[in-house]
């Protein structure tokens, strides 16, 4: 695999930027000088014991032609054969692989739910809300570990200035933001103010919030997988909360200035959603 879209391989960036904290413990095992090969990713998958929900070991394979029959569908192939297809020169697919390695239980759960919905609705002209929710989180999700439920409520209520300015020190101490969506990881290659993720807020003890990112990722992997197994978890996209990623303290130097949050084009007021991961 090689770099694409003019972005050269830079493992140092993956190991230092807060955008990549969720996959840092995986990225540090990648080659320093070049994109990883499929056999290297598959070695990591074996070490992580990554499996689909069918129990089949995950293996990263070259993307081939996809026909219209059910068995060739990406999600079905992953669920039944454990094969995660990867296009050459694709950062997007590489980040998808890294998330499989960092959050194998949640990825397996999302894949199974995709599979079951696709089979149930096979031949219908629309994807349905459930698969929309799954795709939103799979591509654009951020898991927010929150040791103070009041802060999580501010995020869900779009009260950005109160959360990230007035209570900034508390947010820094009590909240951890781990990117799950591989499309959001790809955005980090050329970040811009409008990048918005879908946040799943999970209440945790203060001790969990203080864990190193790798250990916290393991905790949140189990919790997020449990969340998506709940009845009703994929009934509405409104259960996932919009989060302007560059509003997170420390993710850009610009947000040290409180006026950064005055721009309602990006920090919009909005509805209060239901709690997701408490």
> Model pTM?
0.91
**112 in Cβ contact with 53 (< 8 Å):** yes
> Which pLDDT score is estimated for 228?
98
CA separation for the pair 204, 207 (Å, rounded): 8
Mean pLDDT value across residues 223-238: 96
pLDDT by residue (tens digit) across 40-80?
Answer: 999 999 999 999 999 999 999 998 755 444 445 889 999 99
One domain for residues 143 and 245:
yes
| Dihedral pair phi/psi, residue 183, rounded to 5° | -70, -35
Which domain-ending residue is among 77, 108, 128?
A: 128
In a domain, 181, yes or no: yes
Structural domain contains residue 35: yes
121 band by pLDDT with thresholds 50, 70 and 90: confident
Tell me: do 141 and 235 sit in the same domain. yes
Residue 3 inside a domain? The answer is no
* Whether residue 165 is found in the same domain as residue 106: no
160 and 256 share one domain: yes
Contacts of 18 by beta carbon, 8 Å cutoff, 6+ apart: 177, 248, 250, 251
Compute the distance between CA of residue 178 and CA of residue 201 in angstroms, rounded to an integer: 11
Query: Do residues 29 and 105 share a domain?
Result: yes
Owning domain of residue 122: 11-128
Mean pLDDT of 111-132: 87
């Amino acid at each position: 695999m090689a770099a694409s879209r003019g972005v050269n391989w830079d493992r140092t960036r993956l190991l230092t930027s807060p955008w990549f904290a969720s996959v840092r413990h995986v990225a540090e095992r990648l080659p320093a000088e070049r994109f990883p090969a499929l056999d290297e990713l598959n070695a990591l998958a074996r070490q992580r014991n990554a499996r689909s929900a069918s129990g089949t070991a995950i293996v990263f394979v070259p993307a081939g032609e996809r026909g219209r029959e059910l068995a060739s569908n990406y999600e079905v192939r992953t669920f039944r054969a454990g094969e995660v297809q990867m296009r050459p020169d694709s950062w997007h697919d590489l980040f998808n692989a890294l998330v499989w390695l960092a959050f194998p239980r949640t990825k397996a759960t999302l894949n199974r739910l995709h599979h079951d919905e696709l089979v149930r609705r096979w031949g219908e002209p629309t994807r349905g809300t459930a698969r929309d929710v799954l795709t939103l989180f799979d591509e654009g999700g951020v898991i927010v570990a929150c040791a103070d439920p009041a802060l999580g409520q501010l995020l869900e209520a779009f009260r950005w200035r109160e959360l990230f300015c007035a209570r900034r020190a508390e947010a820094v101490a009590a909240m951890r933001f781990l990117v799950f969506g591989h499309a959001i990881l790809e955005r980090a290659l050329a970040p811009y103010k409008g990048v918005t993720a879908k946040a799943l807020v999970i209440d945790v003890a203060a001790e969990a919030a203080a864990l190193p990112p790798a250990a916290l990722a393991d905790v949140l992997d189990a919790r997020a997988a449990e969340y998506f197994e709940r009845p009703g978890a994929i009934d509405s996209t409104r259960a996932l909360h919009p989060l302007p990623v560059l509003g997170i303290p420390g993710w850009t130097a610009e947000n040290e200035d409180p006026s950064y949050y005055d721009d309602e084009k990006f920090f919009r007021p909005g509805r209060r959603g239901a709690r997701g991961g408490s």
